[in-house]
């Protein structure tokens, strides 16, 4: 690769680094914070921020901090409309929230982490939810237990970093217990967890299967652990039904 090609590749990497750090921070960053977070030269960051701002990818605030620009919103909206699964899942989530007034989400794995792709909150003042796009350790979630059912014990152990089995409350998820949860979730066709990533959280998840029969995503309800048992049953039934409908459409394409 020529010197010019190397320079261009570094420029692309630095653009990716800027966007990634803004997403991780989920707030505007000062130029100093961007330089420190990306580890890139000061001159390069200033030049790239200027170019990206002119393109509408970034916006510079009056205090000099930088965040995503309007063009990024347009790109995200285009993706949501034209990604078949996300488009259909959004309608399913809206229907679940309207019926049960509980937070509903579409969740997937991203590498060796779990992330929320879509989320709609209930109308109640207090909501239990996770932020879209934030990467969370797989053992902290019901979805993670559903989406690993096609992997062997060795593959699961190799996939998940050991530190991810440590919950934010200081308790450790035992690998053998986690493996049994994965196997049990595969047998049941759904998974429910309580008090893992949040003391008062109840998470219900039902898998969405691709045309090969592999669980590639899940619809989830995030609610309180004190939710009435009868309501839990109705919520789970509707969640499973919605996930099956999405899977059938997926398989039919």
Digitized pLDDT (tens) for each residue of the chain, 253 residues in all? 555 556 666 778 899 999 989 988 889 999 999 999 999 899 999 999 999 999 999 999 989 899 999 999 898 888 877 878 888 999 999 999 999 999 999 999 989 998 999 988 887 655 555 678 888 899 998 998 999 999 999 999 999 999 999 988 888 999 999 999 999 999 999 999 987 766 678 899 999 998 888 899 999 998 888 889 999 999 999 999 999 999 976 555 4
Measured CA to CA, the distance from residue 96 to residue 116 in angstroms comes to 16
Output the pLDDT for position 197.
66
What is the structure's pLDDT at 174? 93
Q: Residue 127: its pLDDT value, please?
A: 53
CATH of domain 3-73: 1.10.10.10
The DSSP H or E segment spanning 223 is strand 215-224
CB atoms within 10 A of CB 109: 21
Within the chain, all domains assigned CATH 3.30.450.40 are found at: 83-252
User: What whole-number distance in Å separates Cα of residue 143 and Cα of residue 218?
Assistant: 6
What pLDDT shows up at residue 189?
93
Per-residue confidence (pLDDT) for residue 200, from 0 to 100: 77
Which element (helix H / strand E) includes 154? Answer: helix 153-159
User: In CATH, which superfamily holds the domain spanning 83-252?
Assistant: GAF domain (3.30.450.40)
In the chain, CATH 1.10.10.10 covers: 3-73
């Amino acid at each position: 690769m020529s010197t010019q090609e190397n320079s261009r590749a570094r420029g692309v990497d630095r653009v990716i680094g800027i966007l990634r750090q803004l997403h991780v921070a989920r707030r505007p960053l000062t130029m100093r914070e961007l330089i420190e977070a990306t580890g890139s030269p000061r001159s390069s960051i200033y030049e790239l921020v200027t170019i990206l701002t002119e393109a509408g990818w970034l916006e510079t605030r009056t205090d000099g901090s930088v965040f995503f620009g309007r063009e990024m919103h347009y790109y995200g909206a285009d993706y949501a409309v034209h990604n078949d699964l996300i488009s259909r899942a959004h309608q399913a989530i809206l229907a679940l929230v309207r019926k049960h007034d509980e937070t509903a989400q579409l969740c997937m794995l991203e590498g060796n982490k779990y992330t929320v792709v879509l989320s709609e909150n209930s109308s109640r003042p207090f909501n239990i939810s996770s932020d879209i796009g934030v990467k969370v350790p797989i053992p902290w979630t019901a979805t993670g237990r559903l989406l690993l059912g096609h992997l062997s014990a060795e593959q699961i152990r190799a996939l998940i970093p050991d530190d991810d089995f440590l919950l934010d409350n200081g308790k450790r998820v035992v690998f053998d217990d986690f493996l049994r949860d994965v196997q049990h979730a595969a047998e049941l066709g759904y998974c429910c967890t309580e008090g893992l990533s949040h003391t008062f959280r109840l998470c219900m998840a039902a898998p969405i299967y691709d045309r090969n029969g592999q669980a590639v995503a899940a619809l989830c309800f995030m609610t309180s652990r004190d939710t009435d048992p009868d309501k839990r049953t109705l919520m789970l039934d509707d969640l499973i039904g919605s996930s099956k409908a999405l899977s059938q459409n997926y398989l039919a394409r």
